[in-house]
Amino acid sequence: MPRAVAQRHVRGRLRASWLGCAAIVTAWLVVTGCGASEPSAPLVTSSEAPSPEPAKGGEPVAAPTAVDPPPVAASTSDGPEPDAEPEPPPKPDPLHGQVRAGDSLSRILNRAGLSGSKIQRVAEALQPVMDPATIRIGQRYDIELDDTGELLSFAFHLSVTEVARVRRTDDGTLQGRLEELPTELREEEIDGVVESSLWAALTERGHSPALVDVIVDVFAYDIDFFQATRKGDRFALVVERHELDGELVRYGRVLAARYEGEASGEVLVLWWEPDGGEGRYVDGEGRGVARTMVKSPLKYARISSGFDPKRMHPVLHRVKSHQGVDYAAPEGTPVWAAADGKIVWRAEKGGAGNLVILQHDGGLKTLYMHLSRFAPDQKVGDRVKAKTVIGYVGQTGLATGPHLHFGMQKHGRYVDPTTIESVRGPGVGAGDRARFGKVRARWEARLAGMGEPGETGDGEPADAAGADAESETDTTTEGDVGERDG
């Protein structure tokens, strides 16, 4: 190959290589954006700055100068700077607060700076009004100290209205006392219609479950709410409310109540206070409501909507008449004394399971069988009043479902509880008949004017709670103690 031709060939190859490298560099600049920037604007000094254009309205707009800093975008983050440390939580107030887990009176006072000897003096001052060992989580306390750290007062809130308080007297001694915070008393009107249960009729309208207990208690001698409640039953009542700062603390007396039921009929109960005598409940005829026996040995309570009394089946498949009555009820339903009496048996007894026997006047005994457990703080020999809880429904002994078997004996022989006539307590005296007639007329008029069925009265509702339907009640009979048929 001639030399000139070879040189041209080499130059051609070098040119091709150079063009290829240039293309690669250009592509890299395009990808990285290094070559896509706009040409920089020339630096404008204050002497070379153009005159500002007038804005709308004729006001000139200042032109930026070479020394103006570039605008900085405002941060849109609401949170702290990345380097900022979170603020520590506030320390608990040692003088005011609530009992925490693991607290004791000593720990509470020690956090306030009191020494062991001073804490002991506070405990001694509290001893007559409360047991310092019984404090519970969530109870409030307030401590007041003077400028030298000496205790001026210590207040421990036992309940919404009860306060155990220790104060330092002028001579330096500590004195404890129990204070009852004053409540406001007002009347509340309530009426409604039963759709599924009395519980539901009240709690679904926002009334406290405690109101159910109040109503059941006043009608306990006339209505068995486990058996006699029917859809469409109507009720109306006027009840006292004790309030503190506008909140319900407790219910007081039922001043007047009427229940109209398919099974129970119409029952009217009034609170009556004779001149110079003790107040009591009477019916529309002025007869005493209280009797020697309540209508049912079960304290009416919330009934689960899933409870089916028909699930209870016999074990021994035997029926003996007049040996008692079975009350099907959910396990844990309170069982109360049917009458005033003395506990003569309180233990497990064969097929009867956990059994309580009460001795009453007139040679009567009542028996409460198959209890899941006994009421606390009771023992054989104790006397109990009617409507005192003595145990809870269960299925101990020969039983396949939760229920109470209620039996009654007279002079050692079983009798039908429904045949025992209950003696009434005192009613309206003959000398008070005229005044009672006026009182009854006034209450009847007020109850009648409290609204159409299904509407509640003007009183403000208490805390709401859920409600469930009420069950029916099985009333088969059972054999002697130790045998079970249902």
Q: Are residues 189 and 103 in the same domain?
A: no
Its domain, for residue 279, covers 184-295+424-448
Q: Are residues 412 and 344 in the same domain?
A: yes
Asked if residue 17 is part of any domain, the answer here is no
Asked if residue 60 is part of any domain, the answer here is no
Judge whether residue 307 has pLDDT over 70.
no
25 pLDDT band, cuts 50/70/90, is: low
Q: What is the percent of the chain where pLDDT is above 90?
A: 44
- Residues 119, 106: contact at Cβ < 8 Å? yes
Q: Is 411 left (phi over 0), alpha (psi -120 to 50) or beta?
A: left
User: For position 214, which CATH number holds?
Assistant: 3.10.450.350
Q: Are residues 430 and 281 in the same domain?
A: yes
Question: What token pair was written down for 174?
Answer: 């500590």
**336: which strand partners?**
389
Q: Are residues 313 and 385 in the same domain?
A: yes
**For 138-149, what is each residue's pLDDT tens digit?**
999 999 999 888
**Which tops the pLDDT comparison, 133 or 29?**
133
4 pLDDT band, cuts 50/70/90, is: low
Judge whether residue 315 has pLDDT over 60.
no
Asked if residue 173 is part of any domain, the answer here is yes
Asked if residue 480 is part of any domain, the answer here is no
| Domain count along the chain | 3
Residue range 231-239: average pLDDT?
95
Asked if residue 8 is part of any domain, the answer here is no
Q: Are residues 136 and 280 in the same domain?
A: no
Q: Are residues 264 and 193 in the same domain?
A: yes
**140: which strand partners?**
98
Asked if residue 50 is part of any domain, the answer here is no
Q: Are residues 207 and 144 in the same domain?
A: no
Contacts of 95 (CB under 8 A, 6+ apart): 112, 142, 143, 144, 145
**For 26-53, what is each residue's pLDDT tens digit?**
555 555 555 444 444 443 334 444 444 4
Asked if residue 226 is part of any domain, the answer here is yes
Three-state SS for 444? helix
Asked if residue 5 is part of any domain, the answer here is no
Q: Are residues 274 and 176 in the same domain?
A: no
Which residue, 112, 146, 180, sits at the end of a domain? 180
| Cα-trace Rg, the chain | 42
What local confidence, expressed as pLDDT, does residue 327 receive? 85
**For 56-114, what is each residue's pLDDT tens digit?**
444 444 444 444 445 544 445 555 555 667 777 667 778 898 999 999 999 999 999 98
Q: Are residues 162 and 189 in the same domain?
A: no
Nearest to 297 by CA among 261, 324, 259: 324
